[in-house]
Every structure is written in C-alpha cells, then in structure tokens.
Chains A and B, each alone.
Chain A
Amino acid sequence: MAGATLRHTAWILRGNPLTAIAAAGVVLLVLVAIFGPSIVPYDPIASNVSQALMAPSAAHWAGTDQLGRDTFSRLIVATRLDLVIAVSAVGISFVLGAVIGAFCGYAGGRLDRSVGRFVDVMMAFPLFVLAMAMVAALGNRVENIVIATAIINLPFYIRFARAEVNVRRNVGWVEAARASGESHVSVVLRFLLPNVLPAMAVQMSLNLGWAILNAAGLSFIGLGVKPPTPEWGIMVAEGARFISTGRWWLVAFPGLALMLAVLCFNLLGDGMRDILDPRMRT
C-alpha cells in the first residue's frame, strides 16, 4: 500500500520537475534543521574579534560578522529555529482554523455569522502590525512570535475550511452518514474534515513561506528573537548597520537563505495545487 503511494508520488514528480526540485529543497531544509548544528565548522555564538567583518573566503564561506562569528555556521544553525517557528505557527492556525471553519460551515446560522464578522474584523487589520502589537502585548519571546503568526493566519484557514465544508454539507454521503446515526460532531470531524484536508494542505505549503517571511520581519524590527541567537531575520538586522560601508555578505547570505526557503515552500505548494486541481494553473 505504502509502496504504491510512493511509486505514484514518484511518477507525479517525474512529470513536474520543478515540484520535484522544490520537494528536494524542502527535504534538504529539514535535514539541515535536524543535523545542521552538529556539522557546522564554527561555534555560531563564540566571538573572535580578531576575525571581525571578514569578507567571504575559503575559511569563512559567508564571511564573518562584527564579532568575528562565522556567518555560514550561523546560517545553518538558524535553519532549525526559523523552520520551527514557521511550521508550528502554520500548524496551529491550520488545526484551529480547520475545526472552527468546518463547524461554522456545517452549522451555518448565528454562529457562522458572528465568526464571519470576527474574521472580517481581523482581516481589516494591517496584519503585520497586528502581529507586532501581539508580540509586544504577550511579551518579547519566540513563543509569542509563533502565537502572533498563528493568529494572523487564522482568518484565512477559517474562511477556507468554512467555504469547503459549506458546499459539501448536504451532499449525498453526508446525508447518508447522518441517516446512519452519526452525530453532527462526528459528521464534521470524521467525514467532512478529511475531505477538505488535501486542499488545505496546499494552502499550508503556500502559507509556510509567508510565515517564514513574517517571523523574519518581526525579528528584523527587534521583536521575538534576541541576540546572539542565530536567526535569519535578526542576522539581517545586525548586518544592516554595515551595509552602507559595503559589508554586503552580512545581509546577502541570510537574505539568500530566507529566499531559498520561501521559494521551495512556494514552488512545492504551487506544484501540489497543480497536481490536485490542474484547472487552477496560472
């Protein structure tokens, strides 16, 4: 069974080379996140002032920062934190959004309308500003970046799940499940949700890139992650001070890491959407 699924996936990926590359990129990112800290050539936190602000060289592939720390090592180590923030934020909003949206779409009526209003209010906010305010309100910690990113993503998942469930609430197999004595809660959780999950998984992959950018943006303005923790956004912020004196590597390499990570997730999401629903291709 698993072998057949695997073969089928491989067959699909052969027809979509770009998606295959993106999938490989995501796998590589995850591997780096897991094993990165144990394979880096230098300590990402120990400073060595005699080597400060060195341009990229054979010894330091991505140069060194103002404290002489190896930028390449810091980049590799940062992968884990950046991925954990993005994945957990998107995971939280996915689970909450799917359940809330599905119940609203199934129940309709007053509950649906008031949640819809709440979602409208959320979407009328400048979302990045909302995230900023929430991190400031909850306390300047990494967990709160996760929570803030999860909350600003929530409206999109609620809407998505609501719409998907709403069109299916009265189709034949749902009627059949109800007729055979399933409770409403069980109809939603065991019948409707599994049916909208594939479409939502695509949404999730597209969303991960956005979550990475969002978290990096927050730490860039000084919220959440504190130095000397290696994280891509804060590395750019620290490098920003040296850009007008020509130390490009402190900004360019963390920027490149961010770009590649977001690109992989976006391409994977696009590819998955094309495979699930070829009509959506643009």
Chain B
Amino acid sequence: MKGFGVTVLRAARRFMSSLPALFGVLVFTFLLMRVLPGDPAVFFASGPNAGKEEIEVIRKQMGLDKPVPEQLLLYLYDVGRGNLGRSLMTGQAVTKDLRERLPASLELTLTALLIALVSAVPLGVLAALKPGSFVDHGVRLFCALGVCVPTFVSGLLLIYVFYYLLGLAPDPTGRIDVFTSLPPSRTGFLMIDFLLAGDLDGWWAAFRQLILPAATMALFVIAPLARITRASMLVSLGSDFVRTARSVGLSGWHIVVTYALRNAILPVITIAGIVFSTMLGANVLVEKVYSWPGVASYALDALLSSDYAPVQGFVLLMASVFVVVNLLVDVLYGIADPRVSI
C-alpha cells in the first residue's frame, strides 16, 4: 500500500505543476478569440438591416463594450464559477452543450484507442519475436503507410468500400440512424446506455455507426503504438531475466506475456496517453467526415460562425483532458512498475 501512496503523491504533484499551464491556456485562448475577425454582435443582431442601436445593445449584453483586460478578468471569474458562457449558435450554456456532446467524442476516441491497442500490441510483439522476418517487415510497411494516409482520406475510402461497395455499413452520418429510438440517457455513451436499457437491436445499430469512424481513427495511430511495442519488446526480450526464465524451462508464451510484455508495457502506456490526447484534438476531421455530433465538430461550427465562447470552452476542455490523461498515465505507470518513484 505504500507504493500506492507514493503514486498518489506523485500524481498530486504532477497535477499542481500542470495548473500554470492550464491557466496559460485559458488566457491564451481568450486573447486568441478576441483577435478573431467578425463582430459577433452584428452576426447575432436580428438581421442584415439591424439598426446601430440594436447592435450596441447586443454588444453591451455580451460585455463586448468593456476594455479587454476587464473582459479577461470577468471571463476568469466566470470560469472559476464553472460558467463558460453561452453559445450564441445554440442559445444554450456552453457547459451544457459540451456535456451533451463530450460523450459522443469520448465514446468514439476510446473505441478507436481500444481498437488501436488491441491490434498494435500483438503486431508489435509478433514483430519483436522474429526481427527481420516476413512478419516484421509486414508490420513495418503497414506502420509506414498508416501514418501517411490522412484520416479524412481513409475515412472516405472506408465509406466507399463498406457503405457503397459492400453495403455492410449504415449511412455514415451521426451516431444512430433515424429509425432507432434513443435509449434513456444515463452515461451518454450510446453503447452502454443501450446495454443498460436491454435493447440489443439498438446496441447493434449504434455499434454499426461507431465502428467505421473508430476504425478510421485507429488506423492512423496503430503505427506509433506498434512501433513502440516492438522496440520495447526487443529490449525486454534481450534482457537477463528473460534468458533466465528460458533457461529454467518456462513455456514460451508464459515468458513472452508475463515477463517480457509486462516489462515492455511502460513506454506503450506513455505513447498511448499521448496518442489519446492527439486523437481528441484531431477528432475534428473524423467528426466532420462522419457528421459525428461530438465536441470537435461543435467547436468547428462555432469557430466558423465567430461564436467565441464554445471555442474557448472546447480548448479549455481539451487542455483539461490532456492534464487528466497525463495524470492517469502516471498512476498506471506506478501500478505497472512499482519501482517508479518521484
């Protein structure tokens, strides 16, 4: 239990040291959004022939008439109270919008990460078991190609093959087709909500919508994961404890999985953390291709209609997720290897 305490302490310290960066993100986003062209007051006035006075009133309502430093302080105060402002596009509080849409993005990204890990780790292990073999070169080629195909291209090609040619996938728009009724929302993750509601047909429908976008994202990130697994497996397979385990006659798979892989998994966890945060940001492209109602497409729409608050909220959310993922990686690190200390 002492090891666990150390891990918690370390995580707490990491968290404290990431607070200044989060604060910086906050200020930076605020300034960035204030430079954006287009006057949102004009944009959201009743129409193109709205009078000057009407626009002035809206500017006052939105606090755009105050000096920028004062706007910043007000903004920080609001964020401190958990108020991220109101989206002019949807007319709702940004926190509410984000909360509604975050599960869609998380479900997509987590599924993609799962697919990527489940395929990358075995590939990396197989490649490391026989370096220089046919399998090794195959994995290498696959990795080299995987990082070169942009997600928006592979996504569209997957749609072509699985929707148009084979007819296996449903119409690639949104999380669910129009004929399926939504389950009562408990977690926001459709796959889990359908299971909780006991609706297996619904679950299948949601799964079919999810699998193509998730595979698209996974294809792009299998490469770094497989590469790091291979490199780290090579080191651990060549180490003394594996040689000893072999010499006392333990079975091959037992050695590979229990001894070598467990020792090789640390760098994989680190890279998986980085990959996850990158995926959340790069979601924009996949969400656009599949009309996925997630936070990234929400931010993109807001950005294109000069709606400041949602974009600020989105970037802040992403930065916070980044911090949380880093913490999680730290904790996992401590569990996977108790020797790791401060």
Q: Are A and B bound to each other?
A: yes
Contact residues on B (Cβ < 8 Å of other chain), bracket: 35 or more
- Is the Cβ of B284 less than 8 Å from the Cβ of A221? yes
Q: In the docked arrangement, what's the CA distance between A246 and B159, Å? A: 10
| A220 is an interface residue with CB less than 8 A from chain B | yes
- Is the Cβ of B164 less than 8 Å from the Cβ of A246? yes
Within 8 A of B (CB), among A212-249: 213, 216-217, 220-222, 233, 236-237, 239-240, 243-246, 248
| B256 is an interface residue with CB less than 8 A from chain A | no
Q: In the docked arrangement, what's the CA distance between A160 and B33, Å? A: 29
- Is the Cβ of B148 less than 8 Å from the Cβ of A220? no
Interface centre among A222, A245, A260, A262 (most CB of B within 10 A): A262
Are A255 and B21 also in contact (CB < 8 A) when A136-B304, A263-B148 are?
Answer: no
Question: Pick the contact of A129 from B154, B231, B315 — CB < 8 Å?
Answer: B315
Q: In the docked arrangement, what's the CA distance between A259 and B148, Å? A: 5
Kindly count the residue-residue contacts between A and B in the assembled complex, taking CB atoms under 8 Å apart.
Answer: 150
Q: Which residues of A contact B157 (CB under 8 A)?
A: 248, 251-252, 255
Question: Which secondary structure dominates chain B's binding surface?
Answer: helix
Q: In the docked arrangement, what's the CA distance between A2 and B249, Å? A: 59
Question: Pick the contact of A282 from B156, B172, B230 — CB < 8 Å?
Answer: B230
Q: In the docked arrangement, what's the CA distance between A220 and B154, Å? A: 13
Are A126 and B315 also in contact (CB < 8 A) when A118-B24, A251-B157 are?
Answer: yes
A253 to chain B, nearest CB (A): 10
| B236 is an interface residue with CB less than 8 A from chain A | no
User: Residue-by-residue, is B148-178 near A (CB-CB < 8 Å gives 1, otherwise 0)?
Assistant: 1110111011011001110000011000000
- Is the Cβ of B323 less than 8 Å from the Cβ of A213? no
Q: In the docked arrangement, what's the CA distance between A130 and B147, Å? A: 21
Q: Which residues of A contact B144 (CB under 8 A)?
A: 263, 266-267
| B28 is an interface residue with CB less than 8 A from chain A | yes
| B37 is an interface residue with CB less than 8 A from chain A | yes
Q: Which residues of B contact A254 (CB under 8 A)?
A: 153
| B76 is an interface residue with CB less than 8 A from chain A | no
Are A209 and B281 also in contact (CB < 8 A) when A124-B322, A259-B153 are?
Answer: no
Q: Which residues of A contact B150 (CB under 8 A)?
A: 213, 216-217, 220, 233, 236, 255, 258-259
Q: Which residues of B contact A267 (CB under 8 A)?
A: 144
- Is the Cβ of B156 less than 8 Å from the Cβ of A121? no
Question: Pick the contact of A251 from B153, B227, B299, B303 — CB < 8 Å?
Answer: B153
**A contacts, CB < 8 Å to B:** 117-118, 120-121, 124-130, 132-134, 136-139, 209, 213, 216-217, 220-222, 233, 236-237, 239-240, 243-246, 248, 251-252, 254-255, 258-260, 262-263, 266-267, 282
A-B residue pairs in contact (CB < 8 Å), sample of 26: A117-B21, A117-B24, A126-B277, A126-B281, A126-B315, A129-B315, A133-B29, A136-B36, A136-B303, A139-B37, A217-B152, A220-B150, A220-B152, A220-B288, A221-B285, A233-B150, A236-B152, A236-B153, A240-B289, A244-B164, A245-B164, A251-B156, A251-B157, A260-B148, A263-B148, A267-B144
